[in-house]
Structure 1
Amino acid sequence: MNKYIKTLGMVLSAILITVVSLIPAPVITQAQPNNIEAKSAILVDAQTGQILYEKEADLALPPASMTKMMTEYLVLEAINNGDISWDTTTTISDYAYWLSDNDAFSGIGLRQNKEYTVEELYTAMAVNSDNATTVALAELVAGSESEFVKMMNQKAQEMGLQDAEFVNATGLSNSDLGEHHPEGTGADADNYLSAKSVALLAYHLINDYPEALDYSSITESKLDDESFTNWNWMLPGMPGQLEPFGYEGLDGMKTGWTDMAGYCFTGTAERNNRRLISVVMQTDSKEARFEETKKLLDYGFNQTEVKEIFPADYQQEDESTLNVAKGKGKSVEIATDEAIRGVVPSGEENPYEIEFTLDKSKLNDDGKLTAPIEEGDAVGTAKISYTGEELFGYITDDISNEQAKAQVVTQSNVEKANWFTLTFRAIGDFFSDLFGGIVDWVKGLF
């Protein structure tokens, strides 16, 4: 009896172990960060433009020296257009010298009897957030800071920075500049940007001119025998007591501080070929802006990933073919021309739907394509839409339209049928329609 009970116990234990092993392990997820200690913040995937987190991200606030990212963009654009080069030299105006010589603006101490290259000035601007070199570059590109401010606001419109208002190239308050504030701007005016617009500016800077990261990632540099250290403490390899703030993969982008703005930071990091952009505005201290950035980046890298949502050559089950008029074949298959990728938060399998939209201008009145048709002809678009709960859309509609869709294209050639085939097909259709009408008429008698 005891032997029987012992055997039964072993069998039941084996069954229990088997059942437990079949139960899927729970997916461990980290909720959206809800304790970001900043007045405004945002986290964006730099490839897809999708917003992974936001807090008061549309609130326009003074961005302080994060303003300089627009100055960097316009300088790099001028280099790209051939208007200036990295080796172009310029001298220092009285205004730029005043900024450089003023201890309140932490200037490097430029000389007026020397010519500086664009690269020297740009490095000091990007690494040390130097205001005098920023003004010198603005004057070189546009002739004056006032004209440069017009270029900044024009570029902001082109980029879709809807709430942007630039009044100077540096991010200082105009009240700090006194009589030197740019002509056409208010004496007490300030630059204004929302966290979303700052992130969008960084998105364009990184994607249009990735060489900007070569400079924003410099930890230490020198100009006129004056050494300076990057204000971005999150760069790996920062010297001394700053090193504990280092964040793997972080290579930019811009710090900021004024009395009005508080402590701000635009950060960007790349890990495993994936880049994120974060912005925090109006934090309480130098340290806090980096601590809050770390929370955002950790969430993005650890709890979200970019996946192929729908593959290339994807076909909708009920929209896999289009009828063809005047062709040797009567239909043609259609599918997406490339894969569509999107961000997937942990615990969500595939929180997207896809919709095919045909280009009506490519169809005749009967909704058919007209032969001849070439393989790869675009006949519409396929766009994905997020159905989950963790993401916040795209940083702009333009980026959504660019990143969240693919072309729908034909999968084969369809030659135009000759007149003989078309004639007999028309005759066949005529008698088919006639016979169908007679059948319907006869059915109507009963």
Structure 2
Amino acid sequence: MKKWLISILSALLIFSSGFGTIIAQADDTQPEINASAALAIDATTGQILYEKNAKQVLPIASISKILAVSVILDEIQAGKISWDTKVTISPEIAAVSADTALSNIVLNQGQQYTVKQLVHAALIKSADGATLALSTMNGDTVTSFNKKMQAKAKAIGVDDAKIYNAVGLQNSDLDTLKVPGMADSVENEMSATDVAKISQYVIKHYPAVLKITATKSEMFDTTTMDNLNEMLPGNASAMTNYTTDGLKTGTSDAAGQSFVGTGTYKGHRIITVILHANDTSRYTQTANLVNYVIGKYIPTTVDSSTSFAKATTVTVPNGKTVKLKTQFTGKMTLWLSTGTSVQNLSHKFLYKSALKDKNGKLTAPIKKNQTVGQVSLSGDNMTFIDGTGAKISLKAKAADAQANIFVRGWRAVFGY
């Protein structure tokens, strides 16, 4: 079964079920996510909001294009290419782009297209030919670009991905471009955690990508490209109080209906991953996942205005002020279970090395507004995709000079 057939069946399923516009509802029950793997995280902190088989490595089909585009964006940023760089279409790429069984925009052999055109085609229409054209520009081959993708994935923190091409097709689908020495049946595989990490990287480092993935329709030469993401505002599977603006679908026999999405709820961005929705719409499962997150958690902003005395009062044994008041700097979102507040969280101070004594204690002098380190906040079942905790910086609200030698001596004997 080819991509177009699966997409048609998906559309029929939505239509026949009377699906219409999805409403985000508060629901604190554990969701039945009908997919082989699923994950939801906060896009900034990586806080895990839901996971199911999130470490299982599975086929991802065209979701691969997010990683491929990230390599291209790195090269643009490094000045190796530009958005206006022209890419000449080879006979092999033209042949792939003309295959109507794949997701494609037809590219004419010998014609030149800009990097911008091809990136937009890859992300909006999931065009295989356009993505392969990007991956083989400037003398790269499918194999050499694979190495770039593998290196990029590793740099992001993805170690278990299986990458064979930039588009997520089976090796045999690439015909003369397929990777030699590999079975025809191999295709790209990642875990839901891997997909979320790569998506988080792209959103953080290249946020302008979301303007592309949020584009519902765009012209490619004389061809209209309609975005494949049915959860964009105004589309059949859009939600009413959750605004989707990305990110990428993936469809194949092995990957089934897969989708990595991103959107905002009350200004807070999350990333969702659905891998292999089982005989149901990927968008229905994404909506179920979002509804669960909205029902279970309250997105809570932690910033300089947050009152949390235990986590903002630091001990300076050799300072004139032993209990020094600090405040959070910067801003982050923590998704807290209903009925939980920031003050219920545990905390751990992580002082800057230059401000610690030999015993690891904070030491004076400290200047007003000086950053003294970070505080790590944690709670029951609060985990993060990178394995660390939620960290926010602390700065001193007032200066703290060193106490005199007699006071320090007294404290050394009798405590402080």
Q: How far apart in 1 are the matches of 2:188 and 2:229?
A: 21
Structure-1 residue corresponding to 2:122: 125
Structure-1 residue corresponding to 2:375: 382
C-alpha change, 1:115 and 1:303, in structure 2 (3 Å) is: same
Q: How far apart in 2 are the matches of 1:160 and 1:129?
A: 25
Structure-1 residue corresponding to 2:256: 262
Deviation of 1:168 (Å): 0.4
Counting only pairs closer than 5 Å after superposition, residues 43-192 of structure 1 correspond to structure 2 as 43-140=40-137, 143-183=140-180, 185-192=182-189
Is the CA contact 1:234–1:250 (under 8 Å) kept in the aligned structure 2? yes
Letter in 1 for 2:170: S
Deviation of 1:226 (Å): 2.5
User: More deviation in 272-281 or 73-82?
Assistant: 73-82
C-alpha change, 1:87 and 1:411, in structure 2 (3 Å) is: same
Q: How far apart in 2 are the matches of 1:105 and 1:429?
A: 77
Is the CA contact 1:332–1:412 (under 8 Å) kept in the aligned structure 2? no
Structure-1 residue corresponding to 2:191: 194
Is the CA contact 1:306–1:342 (under 8 Å) kept in the aligned structure 2? yes
Counting only pairs closer than 5 Å after superposition, residues 13-412 of structure 1 correspond to structure 2 as 30-140=27-137, 143-183=140-180, 185-237=182-234, 243-248=235-240, 249-285=243-279, 288-308=281-301, 314-316=308-310, 320-324=314-318, 329=320, 331=322, 333-338=324-329, 341-350=333-342, 351-358=344-351, 362-365=355-358, 372-387=365-380, 393-397=383-387, 400-401=388-389, 404-412=390-398
Gaps of 5+ in 1: 1-27, 238-242, 437-446
TM-score, normalised via structure 2 length:
0.82
Q: How far apart in 1 are the matches of 2:336 and 2:276?
A: 30
Is the CA contact 2:66–2:199 (under 8 Å) kept in the aligned structure 1? yes
Deviation of 1:360 (Å): 6.6
How much is the aligned-residue C-alpha RMSD, in angstroms? Answer: 3.1
Deviation of 1:82 (Å): 2.1
Q: SS of the counterpart of 1:116?
A: strand
Deviation of 1:289 (Å): 0.7
Greater per-residue helix proportion: 1
Q: SS of the counterpart of 1:36?
A: coil
Structure-1 residue corresponding to 2:18: none
Q: How far apart in 2 are the matches of 1:224 and 1:409?
A: 54
Letter in 2 for 1:323: P
Name the % identity.
29
Q: How far apart in 1 are the matches of 2:386 and 2:218?
A: 36
Encode CA deviations 1:266-316: one digit per residue, 9 max, x unaligned: 11112321112111111145x611111111122223442221458558543
Gaps of 5+ in 2: 1-24
Is the CA contact 1:312–1:340 (under 8 Å) kept in the aligned structure 2? no
Match among 389, 399, 403 for residue 413 of structure 1: 399
Is the CA contact 1:256–1:264 (under 8 Å) kept in the aligned structure 2? yes
**More contact order relative to length (CA 8 Å, sep ≥ 6):** 2
Is the CA contact 1:68–1:169 (under 8 Å) kept in the aligned structure 2? yes
Deviation of 1:146 (Å): 1.6
Greater radius of gyration (CA): 1
